[in-house]
Amino acid sequence: MSPIGGVGVNLAIQDAVATANILGRPLREGRLSDEDLAAVEKRRLFPTKATQKLQLMMRSSRRTDQADAAKRKGPPAFIRGIARWPVLAHLAGRLMGLGFRMEHVRIDRKS
């Protein structure tokens, strides 16, 4: 996990867990349908869009920072702003590490 917000792999693993949870049983029973695939998309759409939005916000803040990079020392303004507030820093770290929607492997004992 990158400390500057590279979270693509986190999303990929959560996508994989959600997909396994939703498609596992229909696949095993040989009755996979378009509705099952749509259910995966529906579950993962919000965290994907929210993460993209957050990364775009960080990128535009970085662009402003680059403009006065010569004057600046230390981390970008966006990060300095968050670090000033311990609760915000904790929330940002948690969001970065765990994402907008956590996924847990579901053990399906019926099949």
Ligand X SMILES: Cc1cc2nc3c(=O)[nH]c(=O)nc-3n(C[C@H](O)[C@H](O)[C@H](O)COP(=O)(O)OP(=O)(O)OC[C@H]3O[C@@H](n4cnc5c(N)ncnc54)[C@H](O)[C@@H]3O)c2cc1C
Where on the chain is the footprint of ligand X (CB under 6 A)? 2, 6-10, 12, 15
Least distance from ligand X to the Cβ atom of residue 102, Å: 16
Distance between CA atoms of residues 40 and 21, nearest Å: 9
Nearer to ligand X, 46 or 85 (CB): 46
Nearer to ligand X, 18 or 78 (CB): 18
Residue indicated by tokens 């749509």 = 38
Helix (H, G, I), strand (E, B) or coil at 15: helix
- Burial of 51 (C-beta count, 10 Å sphere; 0-12/13-18/19+): buried
Distance between CA atoms of residues 89 and 98, nearest Å: 14
Least distance from ligand X to the Cβ atom of residue 3, Å: 10
Nearer to ligand X, 4 or 72 (CB): 4
Least distance from ligand X to the Cβ atom of residue 111, Å: 25
